[in-house]
Chain A
Protein backbone atom coordinates (compact mmCIF):
# COMPACT_ATOMS: atom_id res chain seq x y z
CA UNK A 1 0.00 0.00 0.00
CA UNK A 2 1.36 3.43 -0.88
CA UNK A 3 0.45 6.89 0.27
CA UNK A 4 -1.73 7.29 -2.84
CA UNK A 5 -4.21 4.74 -1.56
CA UNK A 6 -7.05 6.56 0.19
CA UNK A 7 -7.60 5.60 3.82
CA UNK A 8 -11.28 5.48 3.08
CA UNK A 9 -13.11 5.26 -0.20
CA UNK A 10 -16.85 5.13 -0.62
CA UNK A 11 -18.70 4.38 -3.79
CA UNK A 12 -22.43 4.66 -4.52
CA UNK A 13 -23.51 4.62 -0.91
CA UNK A 14 -27.31 4.63 -0.76
CA UNK A 15 -29.83 4.48 2.05
CA UNK A 16 -33.57 4.79 1.88
CA UNK A 17 -36.17 4.53 4.58
CA UNK A 18 -39.26 3.14 2.89
CA UNK A 19 -39.78 5.52 -0.02
CA UNK A 20 -37.63 8.29 1.42
CA UNK A 21 -34.21 8.48 -0.14
CA UNK A 22 -31.98 9.79 2.64
CA UNK A 23 -28.75 9.26 0.72
CA UNK A 24 -28.25 8.44 -2.93
CA UNK A 25 -25.07 7.27 -4.64
CA UNK A 26 -22.62 9.01 -2.37
CA UNK A 27 -18.99 8.92 -3.52
CA UNK A 28 -16.33 9.96 -1.05
CA UNK A 29 -12.65 9.52 -0.34
CA UNK A 30 -10.23 10.41 2.39
CA UNK A 31 -6.50 10.56 1.65
CA UNK A 32 -3.80 9.56 4.10
CA UNK A 33 -3.42 12.25 6.75
CA UNK A 34 -6.24 14.30 5.27
CA UNK A 35 -8.81 16.23 7.27
CA UNK A 36 -12.13 16.32 5.45
CA UNK A 37 -15.11 18.44 6.40
CA UNK A 38 -18.69 17.45 5.73
CA UNK A 39 -21.14 20.30 5.26
CA UNK A 40 -24.75 20.61 4.23
CA UNK A 41 -28.13 21.83 5.35
CA UNK A 42 -30.26 19.90 7.81
CA UNK A 43 -31.73 16.89 6.06
CA UNK A 44 -29.08 16.97 3.32
CA UNK A 45 -27.95 13.45 4.20
CA UNK A 46 -24.94 14.16 6.44
CA UNK A 47 -26.28 12.30 9.44
CA UNK A 48 -27.31 9.33 7.35
CA UNK A 49 -23.86 9.26 5.78
CA UNK A 50 -22.21 9.33 9.21
CA UNK A 51 -24.51 6.62 10.53
CA UNK A 52 -23.58 4.40 7.59
CA UNK A 53 -19.81 4.86 7.88
CA UNK A 54 -19.85 4.35 11.65
CA UNK A 55 -21.94 1.19 11.45
CA UNK A 56 -24.96 2.62 13.25
CA UNK A 57 -27.01 1.71 10.15
CA UNK A 58 -26.38 -0.43 7.12
CA UNK A 59 -26.59 0.87 3.54
CA UNK A 60 -29.06 -0.47 0.96
CA UNK A 61 -26.30 -0.43 -1.61
CA UNK A 62 -22.83 0.90 -2.27
CA UNK A 63 -19.46 0.00 -0.86
CA UNK A 64 -17.01 1.20 1.75
CA UNK A 65 -13.29 0.51 1.39
CA UNK A 66 -10.73 0.96 4.15
CA UNK A 67 -7.17 0.89 2.82
CA UNK A 68 -8.59 -0.60 -0.40
CA UNK A 69 -10.23 -3.45 1.50
CA UNK A 70 -13.98 -3.73 1.22
CA UNK A 71 -15.65 -3.64 4.64
CA UNK A 72 -19.11 -4.07 6.10
CA UNK A 73 -20.04 -2.71 9.47
CA UNK A 74 -22.64 -4.72 11.35
CA UNK A 75 -22.58 -2.31 14.30
CA UNK A 76 -20.73 0.75 15.64
CA UNK A 77 -18.49 -1.64 17.58
CA UNK A 78 -17.67 -3.44 14.39
CA UNK A 79 -16.66 -0.16 12.75
CA UNK A 80 -14.56 0.66 15.78
CA UNK A 81 -12.85 -2.70 15.69
CA UNK A 82 -11.96 -2.05 12.06
CA UNK A 83 -10.26 1.20 12.93
CA UNK A 84 -12.88 3.96 12.84
CA UNK A 85 -13.20 5.92 16.06
CA UNK A 86 -16.19 8.23 16.38
CA UNK A 87 -16.68 11.09 18.79
CA UNK A 88 -20.43 11.49 19.08
CA UNK A 89 -22.14 14.73 19.99
CA UNK A 90 -23.27 12.97 23.16
CA UNK A 91 -19.61 12.04 23.83
CA UNK A 92 -20.26 8.58 25.34
CA UNK A 93 -18.45 9.48 28.56
CA UNK A 94 -19.39 8.44 32.07
CA UNK A 95 -19.44 11.64 34.16
CA UNK A 96 -19.00 9.78 37.42
CA UNK A 97 -15.78 8.02 36.40
CA UNK A 98 -12.32 9.54 36.21
CA UNK A 99 -10.27 10.23 33.08
CA UNK A 100 -8.41 6.91 32.72
CA UNK A 101 -11.63 4.98 33.36
CA UNK A 102 -13.32 6.94 30.59
CA UNK A 103 -10.46 6.60 28.13
CA UNK A 104 -10.47 2.83 28.54
CA UNK A 105 -14.22 2.47 28.97
CA UNK A 106 -15.36 -0.71 27.24
CA UNK A 107 -11.79 -1.85 26.48
CA UNK A 108 -10.19 -2.00 29.89
CA UNK A 109 -6.78 -3.47 30.40
CA UNK A 110 -6.99 -6.38 32.77
CA UNK A 111 -4.53 -8.21 35.00
CA UNK A 112 -6.61 -11.34 35.06
CA UNK A 113 -9.35 -12.35 32.67
CA UNK A 114 -12.41 -13.62 34.56
CA UNK A 115 -15.32 -12.46 32.42
CA UNK A 116 -17.31 -9.78 34.24
CA UNK A 117 -15.04 -10.21 37.24
CA UNK A 118 -11.88 -9.53 35.25
CA UNK A 119 -9.45 -7.61 37.42
CA UNK A 120 -8.58 -4.16 36.12
CA UNK A 121 -5.01 -3.04 35.59
CA UNK A 122 -5.38 0.45 37.06
CA UNK A 123 -1.70 1.30 36.77
CA UNK A 124 -1.31 0.44 33.09
CA UNK A 125 -4.48 2.31 32.15
CA UNK A 126 -3.41 5.37 34.10
CA UNK A 127 0.02 5.45 32.49
CA UNK A 128 -1.31 4.96 28.98
CA UNK A 129 -3.95 7.61 29.56
CA UNK A 130 -1.28 10.11 30.58
CA UNK A 131 0.70 9.44 27.41
CA UNK A 132 -2.42 9.48 25.21
CA UNK A 133 -3.45 12.86 26.59
CA UNK A 134 0.09 14.18 26.22
CA UNK A 135 0.32 13.04 22.58
CA UNK A 136 -2.99 14.71 21.80
CA UNK A 137 -1.99 17.85 23.70
CA UNK A 138 -4.80 17.65 26.23
CA UNK A 139 -3.96 19.00 29.66
CA UNK A 140 -5.83 17.52 32.61
CA UNK A 141 -4.71 18.67 36.04
CA UNK A 142 -6.03 15.83 38.15
CA UNK A 143 -6.44 12.47 36.47
CA UNK A 144 -8.39 11.05 39.40
CA UNK A 145 -11.03 13.77 39.13
CA UNK A 146 -14.40 12.61 37.79
CA UNK A 147 -15.59 14.22 34.58
CA UNK A 148 -18.50 15.82 36.41
CA UNK A 149 -16.17 18.50 37.69
CA UNK A 150 -14.87 19.30 34.20
CA UNK A 151 -16.02 21.78 31.58
CA UNK A 152 -17.63 20.75 28.30
CA UNK A 153 -14.42 21.59 26.46
CA UNK A 154 -12.31 19.41 28.71
CA UNK A 155 -14.72 16.53 28.28
CA UNK A 156 -14.66 16.98 24.52
CA UNK A 157 -10.85 16.92 24.64
CA UNK A 158 -10.90 13.69 26.65
CA UNK A 159 -13.25 12.13 24.11
CA UNK A 160 -11.03 13.23 21.22
CA UNK A 161 -7.87 12.00 22.95
CA UNK A 162 -9.57 8.66 23.48
CA UNK A 163 -10.53 8.44 19.81
CA UNK A 164 -7.06 9.52 18.68
CA UNK A 165 -5.40 7.03 20.99
CA UNK A 166 -7.33 4.08 19.69
CA UNK A 167 -8.00 4.97 16.04
CA UNK A 168 -6.20 2.60 13.73
CA UNK A 169 -7.49 4.26 10.53
CA UNK A 170 -9.42 7.46 11.08
CA UNK A 171 -11.47 9.61 13.44
CA UNK A 172 -14.93 11.01 12.89
CA UNK A 173 -15.93 14.10 14.86
CA UNK A 174 -19.63 14.89 14.88
CA UNK A 175 -20.16 18.61 15.60
CA UNK A 176 -17.30 18.69 18.11
CA UNK A 177 -17.83 22.27 19.25
CA UNK A 178 -21.59 22.72 18.84
CA UNK A 179 -22.14 22.96 22.59
CA UNK A 180 -19.00 24.92 23.50
CA UNK A 181 -18.16 28.54 24.21
CA UNK A 182 -15.61 30.58 22.27
CA UNK A 183 -12.54 29.76 24.36
CA UNK A 184 -13.37 26.10 24.65
CA UNK A 185 -13.98 25.90 20.91
CA UNK A 186 -10.55 27.39 20.30
CA UNK A 187 -9.02 24.80 22.58
CA UNK A 188 -10.72 21.89 20.84
CA UNK A 189 -9.66 23.31 17.47
CA UNK A 190 -6.04 23.39 18.63
CA UNK A 191 -6.31 19.71 19.51
CA UNK A 192 -7.71 18.94 16.06
CA UNK A 193 -4.87 20.88 14.40
CA UNK A 194 -2.47 18.78 16.46
CA UNK A 195 -4.00 15.64 14.97
CA UNK A 196 -3.39 17.09 11.50
CA UNK A 197 0.29 17.57 12.29
CA UNK A 198 0.47 13.99 13.50
CA UNK A 199 -1.11 12.82 10.24
CA UNK A 200 -4.23 11.30 11.79
CA UNK A 201 -6.95 11.17 9.09
CA UNK A 202 -10.16 12.79 10.23
CA UNK A 203 -13.69 13.57 9.09
CA UNK A 204 -15.37 16.50 10.78
CA UNK A 205 -19.05 17.28 10.54
CA UNK A 206 -19.62 20.95 11.28
CA UNK A 207 -22.09 23.74 10.71
CA UNK A 208 -19.44 26.30 11.50
CA UNK A 209 -17.87 27.41 8.21
CA UNK A 210 -15.13 29.44 9.88
CA UNK A 211 -14.12 26.24 11.63
CA UNK A 212 -14.40 24.18 8.46
CA UNK A 213 -12.05 26.55 6.64
CA UNK A 214 -9.62 26.60 9.51
CA UNK A 215 -9.44 22.86 10.05
CA UNK A 216 -10.04 21.00 6.82
CA UNK A 217 -8.05 20.17 3.69
CA UNK A 218 -11.10 19.31 1.64
CA UNK A 219 -14.81 20.06 1.92
CA UNK A 220 -17.58 17.71 0.85
CA UNK A 221 -20.94 19.37 0.24
CA UNK A 222 -24.16 17.46 0.82
CA UNK A 223 -27.41 18.61 -0.74
CA UNK A 224 -30.78 16.87 -0.94
CA UNK A 225 -29.43 13.43 -0.12
CA UNK A 226 -26.45 13.57 -2.46
CA UNK A 227 -22.80 14.55 -2.29
CA UNK A 228 -22.77 17.28 -4.92
CA UNK A 229 -19.32 18.78 -4.60
CA UNK A 230 -15.84 18.18 -3.24
CA UNK A 231 -13.47 21.11 -3.20
CA UNK A 232 -10.02 21.79 -1.81
CA UNK A 233 -10.45 24.15 1.09
CA UNK A 234 -7.50 26.26 -0.06
CA UNK A 235 -9.12 26.94 -3.44
CA UNK A 236 -12.60 27.71 -2.13
CA UNK A 237 -14.24 30.35 0.02
CA UNK A 238 -17.17 30.48 2.44
CA UNK A 239 -19.49 32.28 -0.05
CA UNK A 240 -18.96 29.54 -2.60
CA UNK A 241 -19.65 26.80 -0.01
CA UNK A 242 -22.83 28.55 1.18
CA UNK A 243 -23.89 28.80 -2.46
CA UNK A 244 -23.31 25.08 -2.99
CA UNK A 245 -25.17 24.19 0.21
CA UNK A 246 -28.22 26.30 -0.65
CA UNK A 247 -28.22 25.50 -4.35
CA UNK A 248 -27.48 29.08 -5.41
CA UNK A 249 -24.23 27.87 -6.99
CA UNK A 250 -24.28 25.00 -9.47
CA UNK A 251 -21.43 22.58 -8.73
CA UNK A 252 -20.76 22.25 -12.46
CA UNK A 253 -19.87 25.93 -12.49
CA UNK A 254 -17.19 25.47 -9.85
CA UNK A 255 -13.92 24.29 -11.41
CA UNK A 256 -12.97 20.81 -10.17
CA UNK A 257 -15.87 20.49 -7.75
CA UNK A 258 -17.25 17.30 -9.25
CA UNK A 259 -13.99 15.86 -10.57
CA UNK A 260 -13.09 13.65 -7.60
CA UNK A 261 -16.67 12.47 -7.18
CA UNK A 262 -16.75 11.35 -10.80
CA UNK A 263 -13.31 9.74 -10.54
CA UNK A 264 -14.46 7.59 -7.65
CA UNK A 265 -17.46 6.45 -9.64
CA UNK A 266 -15.37 5.54 -12.67
CA UNK A 267 -12.27 3.82 -11.37
CA UNK A 268 -12.42 0.60 -9.50
Chain B
Protein backbone atom coordinates (compact mmCIF):
# COMPACT_ATOMS: atom_id res chain seq x y z
CA UNK B 1 0.00 0.00 0.00
CA UNK B 2 1.31 3.41 -0.94
CA UNK B 3 1.51 5.94 1.85
CA UNK B 4 -1.24 8.56 2.02
CA UNK B 5 0.80 11.44 0.64
CA UNK B 6 1.79 9.38 -2.41
CA UNK B 7 -1.80 8.66 -3.42
CA UNK B 8 -2.99 10.48 -6.53
CA UNK B 9 -6.10 11.62 -4.65
CA UNK B 10 -4.16 13.17 -1.79
CA UNK B 11 -4.29 16.63 -3.37
CA UNK B 12 -8.06 16.42 -3.83
CA UNK B 13 -8.49 15.41 -0.19
CA UNK B 14 -6.44 18.40 0.96
CA UNK B 15 -8.40 20.69 -1.37
CA UNK B 16 -11.73 19.43 0.03
CA UNK B 17 -10.54 19.99 3.61
CA UNK B 18 -9.02 23.41 2.95
CA UNK B 19 -12.04 24.61 1.00
CA UNK B 20 -14.29 23.22 3.74
CA UNK B 21 -12.42 25.22 6.38
CA UNK B 22 -12.44 28.39 4.27
CA UNK B 23 -16.16 28.09 3.55
CA UNK B 24 -16.93 27.42 7.22
CA UNK B 25 -15.22 30.69 8.06
CA UNK B 26 -16.74 32.63 5.16
CA UNK B 27 -20.35 31.51 5.61
CA UNK B 28 -22.29 30.58 8.75
CA UNK B 29 -24.54 28.35 6.63
CA UNK B 30 -21.87 26.05 5.26
CA UNK B 31 -20.99 23.85 8.19
CA UNK B 32 -24.25 22.24 9.20
CA UNK B 33 -25.41 18.71 8.57
CA UNK B 34 -28.25 19.79 6.24
CA UNK B 35 -25.91 21.69 3.95
CA UNK B 36 -23.23 18.98 4.02
CA UNK B 37 -25.77 16.27 3.26
CA UNK B 38 -27.12 18.51 0.52
CA UNK B 39 -23.65 18.82 -1.03
CA UNK B 40 -23.30 15.03 -1.14
CA UNK B 41 -26.75 14.63 -2.71
CA UNK B 42 -25.92 17.28 -5.29
CA UNK B 43 -22.57 15.65 -5.95
CA UNK B 44 -24.11 12.22 -6.53
CA UNK B 45 -25.07 12.55 -10.20
CA UNK B 46 -21.72 14.07 -11.19
CA UNK B 47 -19.97 11.46 -9.06
CA UNK B 48 -21.73 8.61 -10.91
CA UNK B 49 -20.74 10.10 -14.27
CA UNK B 50 -17.20 10.73 -13.03
CA UNK B 51 -16.94 7.07 -11.97
CA UNK B 52 -17.51 5.81 -15.51
CA UNK B 53 -15.41 8.62 -16.89
CA UNK B 54 -12.51 7.48 -14.68
CA UNK B 55 -12.36 4.14 -16.50
CA UNK B 56 -12.29 5.90 -19.87
CA UNK B 57 -9.67 8.47 -18.88
CA UNK B 58 -7.44 5.82 -17.26
CA UNK B 59 -7.20 4.10 -20.65
CA UNK B 60 -6.11 7.41 -22.15
CA UNK B 61 -9.48 8.28 -23.71
CA UNK B 62 -12.20 10.72 -22.82
CA UNK B 63 -16.00 10.56 -22.99
CA UNK B 64 -17.47 13.96 -23.84
CA UNK B 65 -20.95 12.59 -24.42
CA UNK B 66 -21.90 11.62 -20.85
CA UNK B 67 -24.20 14.62 -20.31
CA UNK B 68 -26.07 13.96 -23.54
CA UNK B 69 -26.26 10.24 -22.93
CA UNK B 70 -27.65 10.91 -19.45
CA UNK B 71 -30.31 13.05 -21.13
CA UNK B 72 -31.07 10.36 -23.70
CA UNK B 73 -31.41 7.54 -21.18
CA UNK B 74 -33.35 9.74 -18.72
CA UNK B 75 -35.65 11.21 -21.37
CA UNK B 76 -36.48 7.85 -22.91
CA UNK B 77 -37.15 6.30 -19.49
CA UNK B 78 -39.40 9.26 -18.60
CA UNK B 79 -41.21 9.08 -21.92
CA UNK B 80 -41.83 5.37 -21.52
CA UNK B 81 -43.31 5.81 -18.06
CA UNK B 82 -45.30 9.04 -18.51
CA UNK B 83 -46.36 8.98 -22.16
CA UNK B 84 -46.55 5.26 -22.76
CA UNK B 85 -47.47 4.06 -19.27
CA UNK B 86 -44.79 1.40 -19.27
CA UNK B 87 -43.73 -0.26 -16.01
CA UNK B 88 -40.99 1.88 -14.36
CA UNK B 89 -38.68 -1.10 -13.87
CA UNK B 90 -38.87 -1.82 -17.59
CA UNK B 91 -38.07 1.83 -18.20
CA UNK B 92 -35.04 1.52 -15.92
CA UNK B 93 -34.00 -1.58 -17.85
CA UNK B 94 -34.39 0.33 -21.10
CA UNK B 95 -32.22 3.16 -19.77
CA UNK B 96 -29.41 0.71 -18.97
CA UNK B 97 -29.84 -1.00 -22.35
CA UNK B 98 -29.53 2.33 -24.17
CA UNK B 99 -26.52 3.30 -22.06
CA UNK B 100 -24.82 0.01 -22.87
CA UNK B 101 -25.71 0.22 -26.57
CA UNK B 102 -24.30 3.73 -26.94
CA UNK B 103 -21.23 2.60 -24.99
CA UNK B 104 -20.78 -0.27 -27.45
CA UNK B 105 -21.14 2.15 -30.34
CA UNK B 106 -18.54 4.55 -28.92
CA UNK B 107 -16.22 1.75 -27.90
CA UNK B 108 -16.43 0.08 -31.30
CA UNK B 109 -15.51 3.29 -33.12
CA UNK B 110 -12.65 4.04 -30.74
CA UNK B 111 -11.18 0.58 -30.21
CA UNK B 112 -11.91 -1.24 -33.47
CA UNK B 113 -12.14 1.54 -36.07
CA UNK B 114 -9.51 3.73 -34.46
CA UNK B 115 -11.28 7.09 -34.36
CA UNK B 116 -9.99 9.22 -31.45
CA UNK B 117 -12.37 9.09 -28.48
CA UNK B 118 -12.43 12.87 -28.45
CA UNK B 119 -14.04 12.95 -31.90
CA UNK B 120 -16.42 10.03 -31.40
CA UNK B 121 -17.82 11.46 -28.20
CA UNK B 122 -17.78 15.07 -29.40
CA UNK B 123 -20.06 13.93 -32.20
CA UNK B 124 -22.04 11.97 -29.65
CA UNK B 125 -22.41 15.09 -27.52
CA UNK B 126 -24.80 16.58 -30.04
CA UNK B 127 -25.98 13.33 -31.61
CA UNK B 128 -27.41 11.86 -28.38
CA UNK B 129 -28.76 15.21 -27.20
CA UNK B 130 -30.59 15.61 -30.48
CA UNK B 131 -31.91 12.07 -30.29
CA UNK B 132 -33.05 12.68 -26.69
CA UNK B 133 -35.22 15.60 -27.85
CA UNK B 134 -36.34 13.93 -31.04
CA UNK B 135 -37.31 10.57 -29.54
CA UNK B 136 -39.39 12.19 -26.80
CA UNK B 137 -40.95 14.98 -28.86
CA UNK B 138 -39.32 17.60 -26.66
CA UNK B 139 -41.88 17.03 -23.90
CA UNK B 140 -41.34 17.72 -20.22
CA UNK B 141 -42.50 14.66 -18.36
CA UNK B 142 -43.16 15.16 -14.67
CA UNK B 143 -44.67 13.17 -11.81
CA UNK B 144 -42.64 9.99 -12.10
CA UNK B 145 -44.02 6.75 -10.61
CA UNK B 146 -42.43 4.70 -7.82
CA UNK B 147 -39.61 3.92 -7.23
CA UNK B 148 -38.39 7.26 -8.60
CA UNK B 149 -39.56 9.49 -5.73
CA UNK B 150 -37.83 7.12 -3.33
CA UNK B 151 -34.60 7.11 -5.37
CA UNK B 152 -34.65 10.88 -5.57
CA UNK B 153 -35.97 11.88 -2.16
CA UNK B 154 -36.16 8.78 0.00
CA UNK B 155 -33.93 8.09 2.97
CA UNK B 156 -32.44 4.73 3.78
CA UNK B 157 -33.35 3.80 7.38
CA UNK B 158 -35.01 7.20 7.51
CA UNK B 159 -31.73 9.09 7.65
CA UNK B 160 -29.41 8.58 4.68
CA UNK B 161 -30.64 10.15 1.43
CA UNK B 162 -30.90 7.54 -1.34
CA UNK B 163 -28.68 9.39 -3.85
CA UNK B 164 -25.88 9.19 -1.28
CA UNK B 165 -26.56 5.49 -0.74
CA UNK B 166 -26.41 4.85 -4.49
CA UNK B 167 -23.21 6.87 -4.76
CA UNK B 168 -21.48 5.07 -1.89
CA UNK B 169 -22.47 1.58 -3.05
CA UNK B 170 -21.38 2.50 -6.57
CA UNK B 171 -17.99 3.80 -5.45
CA UNK B 172 -17.29 0.83 -3.19
CA UNK B 173 -18.03 -1.54 -6.10
CA UNK B 174 -16.09 0.45 -8.68
CA UNK B 175 -13.16 0.78 -6.33
CA UNK B 176 -13.10 -3.01 -6.02
CA UNK B 177 -13.37 -3.47 -9.80
CA UNK B 178 -10.43 -1.14 -10.44
CA UNK B 179 -8.16 -2.55 -7.76
CA UNK B 180 -8.97 -6.23 -7.80
CA UNK B 181 -10.27 -7.43 -11.15
CA UNK B 182 -8.68 -8.07 -14.51
CA UNK B 183 -10.69 -5.25 -16.04
CA UNK B 184 -9.31 -2.77 -13.50
CA UNK B 185 -5.76 -3.93 -13.94
CA UNK B 186 -5.95 -3.85 -17.74
CA UNK B 187 -7.47 -0.37 -17.70
CA UNK B 188 -4.28 0.85 -16.00
CA UNK B 189 -2.05 -1.28 -18.22
CA UNK B 190 -3.62 0.04 -21.42
CA UNK B 191 -3.33 3.62 -20.20
CA UNK B 192 0.32 3.12 -19.24
CA UNK B 193 1.53 1.29 -22.31
CA UNK B 194 -1.01 0.21 -24.88
CA UNK B 195 1.48 -1.52 -27.14
CA UNK B 196 3.03 -3.35 -24.19
CA UNK B 197 -0.41 -4.44 -23.05
CA UNK B 198 -0.98 -5.92 -26.50
CA UNK B 199 2.42 -7.65 -26.41
CA UNK B 200 1.65 -9.44 -23.15
CA UNK B 201 -1.57 -10.76 -24.66
CA UNK B 202 -4.20 -8.44 -23.24
CA UNK B 203 -7.11 -8.10 -25.62
CA UNK B 204 -6.71 -4.34 -25.72
CA UNK B 205 -9.56 -3.70 -28.16
CA UNK B 206 -12.19 -5.50 -26.12
CA UNK B 207 -11.11 -3.92 -22.86
CA UNK B 208 -11.10 -0.47 -24.46
CA UNK B 209 -14.58 -1.13 -25.78
CA UNK B 210 -15.53 -2.24 -22.29
CA UNK B 211 -14.70 1.07 -20.62
CA UNK B 212 -17.11 2.94 -22.90
CA UNK B 213 -19.83 0.46 -22.00
CA UNK B 214 -19.05 1.06 -18.30
CA UNK B 215 -19.33 4.80 -18.93
CA UNK B 216 -22.63 4.32 -20.79
CA UNK B 217 -24.09 2.26 -17.94
CA UNK B 218 -22.99 4.93 -15.47
CA UNK B 219 -24.87 7.52 -17.55
CA UNK B 220 -28.05 5.44 -17.23
CA UNK B 221 -27.57 5.10 -13.47
CA UNK B 222 -26.90 8.84 -13.14
CA UNK B 223 -30.02 9.56 -15.20
CA UNK B 224 -32.18 7.44 -12.91
CA UNK B 225 -30.96 9.31 -9.83
CA UNK B 226 -31.21 12.68 -11.59
CA UNK B 227 -34.79 12.32 -12.86
CA UNK B 228 -35.77 10.90 -9.47
CA UNK B 229 -34.43 14.03 -7.80
CA UNK B 230 -36.13 16.36 -10.30
CA UNK B 231 -39.30 14.26 -10.33
CA UNK B 232 -39.38 14.94 -14.05
CA UNK B 233 -37.49 14.20 -17.20
CA UNK B 234 -36.88 15.70 -20.63
CA UNK B 235 -34.26 15.95 -23.33
CA UNK B 236 -32.73 19.03 -21.78
CA UNK B 237 -31.54 17.53 -18.49
CA UNK B 238 -27.85 17.15 -17.60
CA UNK B 239 -26.66 20.07 -19.73
CA UNK B 240 -22.86 20.43 -19.59
CA UNK B 241 -22.55 17.62 -17.08
CA UNK B 242 -19.68 16.18 -19.11
CA UNK B 243 -17.57 19.15 -18.11
CA UNK B 244 -18.22 18.63 -14.40
CA UNK B 245 -17.64 14.89 -14.68
CA UNK B 246 -14.34 15.28 -16.51
CA UNK B 247 -13.31 18.07 -14.12
CA UNK B 248 -14.10 15.82 -11.15
CA UNK B 249 -11.87 13.07 -12.52
CA UNK B 250 -9.00 15.45 -13.25
CA UNK B 251 -9.35 17.24 -9.90
CA UNK B 252 -9.26 13.80 -8.30
CA UNK B 253 -5.71 13.37 -9.55
CA UNK B 254 -6.34 11.05 -12.49
CA UNK B 255 -4.07 11.89 -15.40
CA UNK B 256 -5.65 12.89 -18.72
CA UNK B 257 -2.77 10.99 -20.33
CA UNK B 258 -4.04 7.72 -18.85
CA UNK B 259 -2.52 5.07 -16.61
CA UNK B 260 -2.43 7.06 -13.39
CA UNK B 261 -5.30 7.81 -11.06
CA UNK B 262 -7.91 6.42 -8.74
CA UNK B 263 -11.65 6.10 -8.43
CA UNK B 264 -11.71 7.56 -4.92
CA UNK B 265 -10.12 10.71 -6.35
CA UNK B 266 -13.05 11.12 -8.72
CA UNK B 267 -15.47 10.98 -5.79
CA UNK B 268 -13.44 13.63 -3.98
CA UNK B 269 -13.30 15.63 -7.22
CA UNK B 270 -17.09 15.50 -7.60
CA UNK B 271 -17.51 16.64 -4.01
CA UNK B 272 -14.95 19.40 -4.56
CA UNK B 273 -16.75 20.75 -7.64
CA UNK B 274 -20.06 20.67 -5.80
CA UNK B 275 -18.53 22.42 -2.80
CA UNK B 276 -17.17 25.15 -5.03
CA UNK B 277 -20.64 25.70 -6.50
CA UNK B 278 -22.34 25.43 -3.10
CA UNK B 279 -19.87 27.84 -1.51
CA UNK B 280 -20.26 30.39 -4.27
CA UNK B 281 -24.05 30.16 -3.93
CA UNK B 282 -23.80 30.72 -0.17
CA UNK B 283 -21.51 33.68 -0.79
CA UNK B 284 -23.99 34.97 -3.38
CA UNK B 285 -21.52 34.94 -6.22
CA UNK B 286 -23.31 35.30 -9.55
CA UNK B 287 -23.97 32.40 -11.92
CA UNK B 288 -21.73 33.98 -14.56
CA UNK B 289 -18.79 34.23 -12.20
CA UNK B 290 -19.41 30.63 -11.13
CA UNK B 291 -19.13 29.49 -14.73
CA UNK B 292 -15.84 31.33 -15.04
CA UNK B 293 -14.55 29.90 -11.77
CA UNK B 294 -15.35 26.27 -12.70
CA UNK B 295 -13.72 26.70 -16.10
CA UNK B 296 -10.61 28.15 -14.49
CA UNK B 297 -10.47 25.31 -11.94
CA UNK B 298 -10.55 22.73 -14.75
CA UNK B 299 -7.70 24.43 -16.61
CA UNK B 300 -5.63 24.69 -13.45
CA UNK B 301 -6.23 21.02 -12.62
CA UNK B 302 -5.02 19.93 -16.06
CA UNK B 303 -2.10 22.33 -15.75
CA UNK B 304 -1.06 20.64 -12.52
CA UNK B 305 -1.42 17.25 -14.22
CA UNK B 306 0.88 18.33 -17.07
CA UNK B 307 3.51 19.60 -14.64
CA UNK B 308 3.29 16.41 -12.60
CA UNK B 309 3.64 14.28 -15.72
CA UNK B 310 6.71 16.21 -16.87
CA UNK B 311 8.28 15.74 -13.48
CA UNK B 312 7.61 12.00 -13.58
CA UNK B 313 9.05 11.69 -17.07
CA UNK B 314 12.20 13.53 -16.09
CA UNK B 315 12.91 10.96 -13.39
Contacts and interface: CB of A to CB of B under 8 A. Distances in A.
Contacts of B182: 108, 110, 115-118, 120
Nearest to B312: A148
Nearest to B58: A96
Contacts of B201: 76-77, 80, 106-107
B259 A95 contact: yes
B181 A117 contact: yes
B185 A120 contact: yes
Given A80-B201, A95-B259, A105-B202, A90 B195 contact: yes
A88 B199 CA distance: 9
Interface stretch (B149-157, B186-194, B226-234, B275-283): B186-194
B149 to A, nearest CB: 32
Contact of B196 (A93, A116, A117, A144): A93
Contact of A94 (B1, B177, B181, B196): B196
B289 interface: no
B261 to A, nearest CB: 9
B185 A97 contact: yes
A80 B193 CA distance: 20
Nearest to B180: A120
B310 interface: no
Given A110-B182, A120-B181, A96 B197 contact: no
A3 B186 CA distance: 40
Contacts of A120: 180-182, 185
Contacts of A144: 1-2
Contact of A116 (B183, B199, B315): B183
Nearest to B194: A94
A201 B294 CA distance: 59
Given A106-B201, A107-B201, A92 B196 contact: yes
Interface residues of A, number: 29
Interface residues of B, number: 28
A119 interface: yes
B199 A119 contact: no
Given A96-B260, A116-B210, A90 B181 contact: no
A119 B180 contact: yes
B200 A106 contact: yes
B207 interface: yes
Contacts of B180: 119-120, 122
Nearest to A115: B182
Nearest to B255: A96
A110 B181 CA distance: 8
A225 B200 CA distance: 29
Given A116-B210, A118-B181, A96 B196 contact: no
Contacts of A92: 193, 195-197, 199-200
A120 B182 CA distance: 7
B217 to A, nearest CB: 13
Contact of B188 (A90, A94, A116, A122): A94
Contacts of A106: 197, 200-202
Interface in A73-125: 76-77, 80, 88, 90-97, 101, 105-108, 110, 114-120, 122
Contacts of B260: 96
B308 to A, nearest CB: 11
Contacts of A116: 181-183, 186, 206-207, 210
Contacts of A256: none
A22 B19 CA distance: 64
Most buried by B among A76, A117, A149: A117
Contacts of A97: 185, 188-189, 192
Nearest to A95: B192
A96 B60 CA distance: 13
A230 to B, nearest CB: 29
A118 B202 CA distance: 14
B192 A117 contact: no
A94 B189 CA distance: 5
A193 to B, nearest CB: 26
Contacts of B315: 148-149
A71 to B, nearest CB: 18
Contacts of B259: 94-96
A115 B186 CA distance: 12
Given A80-B201, A105-B202, A96 B195 contact: no
Most buried by B among A110, A115, A120, A122: A120
30 contacts: A76-B199, A88-B199, A90-B196, A91-B196, A92-B195, A92-B197, A93-B196, A94-B189, A94-B192, A94-B259, A96-B188, A96-B192, A96-B260, A97-B185, A105-B189, A106-B202, A107-B200, A108-B182, A114-B181, A116-B186, A116-B206, A116-B207, A117-B181, A117-B182, A118-B181, A118-B182, A120-B181, A120-B185, A122-B180, A144-B2
Given A94-B192, A101-B188, A149-B315, 8 more contacts: A77-B201, A90-B195, A95-B193, A106-B197, A115-B182, A116-B207, A117-B177, A117-B181
Interface of A: 76-77, 80, 88, 90-97, 101, 105-108, 110, 114-120, 122, 144, 148-149
Q: Which 8 A-B pairs have the closest CB atoms?
A: A106-B200, A94-B192, A92-B196, A96-B259, A92-B199, A96-B192, A106-B201, A94-B189
